[in-house]
Amino acid sequence: MARGGARRGSRDLSLESIVKTALQIADDIGLEELTIRRIAAELGVGAMTLYSYVRNKDEIFDAMADHVLGGIRIPEADPTDPAAVLRAAATGFLDMMRRHPSIVQLMTSRVTISSHSMEGGMEGILVRFLEAGLTPETAVRCYSFLITYALGFAGYQHPRPWGHADRTDRAELRRQRAHFYASLPADKFPSVVAIADHLVDLPADDQFDYAVESFITSVLAAEAQKTSA
């Protein structure tokens, strides 16, 4: 039965509803569990009905990536402040990947070149970098670092709940993880045991922010050196 308790039926079927349902399933239980049959069951239709909209699962995967990347939301920032613009892009990338954990798997397994995804996920971001005063070379390097770092961080953080700021039990999860590190054999893991209280911060947002801020500082310092040379 479809989510919400009502079978939608073929009259409500569309490519958009298929993609949104596929994203819900993939985000909840993983991309590897996504099948045409499961999507059809959620939508309340027969599996063969979906083939009127997509030829195969790969087309659904492409449409999912297109939907998420094309709909990325980058926070507002002072367009004349390159640090603020870069920081906003980092936040937008990470938020996108948190809202849709399956996009991490999608982006590391396929390339999407649709106009919609490139307009939202690339053009709209690069133009802000350039308008903020970054050179084309630096804009590309910043885009590369921010999207790939957010991708890696989101993938690392997702299965580690003690790093999730929105968990009400985060303090207890952090305590348990610190205890795990501290209880390891000290003769084999002397460094881990010694800094156990700090290691629980590995998947925390502060670590993401620290890396982004360090990157921005180094980039802008290099840009300033070029300008003054």
Element (H, E) at 82: helix 82-99
Residues 128 and 24 in one domain: no
Asked whether residue 141 falls in the same domain as residue 39, the answer is no
Which domain CATH number covers 31? Answer: 1.10.10.60
The amino acid occupying position 229 is A
Contacts of 123 (CB under 8 A, 6+ apart): none
Q: Are residues 31 and 143 in the same domain?
A: no
Give the Cα separation of 168 and 213 in Å (integer).
Answer: 27
106 shares a domain with 42? no
Length of the chain: 229
pLDDT digits (tens, 9 = 90+) for 140-172: 999 999 999 999 999 999 999 999 999 999 999
Residue span of the structural domain in which 130 resides:
78-228
Whether 67 is in a domain gets the answer no
Residue 48 lies in a domain: yes
Q: Do 83 and 179 belong together in one domain? A: yes
For residue 7, is pLDDT > 70? no
Residue with tokens 């939202």: 120
Q: pLDDT tens, 40-92?
A: 999 999 999 999 899 888 889 989 988 998 889 999 999 999 999 999 999 99
Is 90 in the same domain as 171?
Answer: yes
pLDDT of residue 157: 95
Residues 6+ apart with CB under 8 A from 50: 18, 36, 39, 40, 43
- For the chain, the domain total comes to 2
In a shared domain, residues 191 and 94: yes
**CATH number of the structural domain spanning residue 149:** 1.10.357.10
Q: 50 and 87 in one domain?
A: no
Q: Does residue 65 sit within a domain?
A: no
pLDDT digits (tens, 9 = 90+) for 180-225: 999 999 999 999 999 999 999 999 999 999 999 999 999 999 988 8
pLDDT at 229: 65
Residue 136 within any structural domain of the chain: yes
Q: Are residues 14 and 89 in the same domain?
A: no
pTM recorded for the entire structure: 0.86
Examine the pLDDT at 2 and tell me if it is beyond 50: no
Same-domain check for residues 85 and 141? yes
User: What does the pLDDT look like over 23-44, one tens digit per residue?
Assistant: 999 999 988 889 999 999 999 9
In a domain, 72, yes or no: no
In a domain, 145, yes or no: yes
Q: Contact, 39 vs 22, CB < 8 A?
A: yes
How does residue 12 score in pLDDT terms, banded at 50, 70 and 90? Answer: confident
Residue 137 lies in a domain: yes
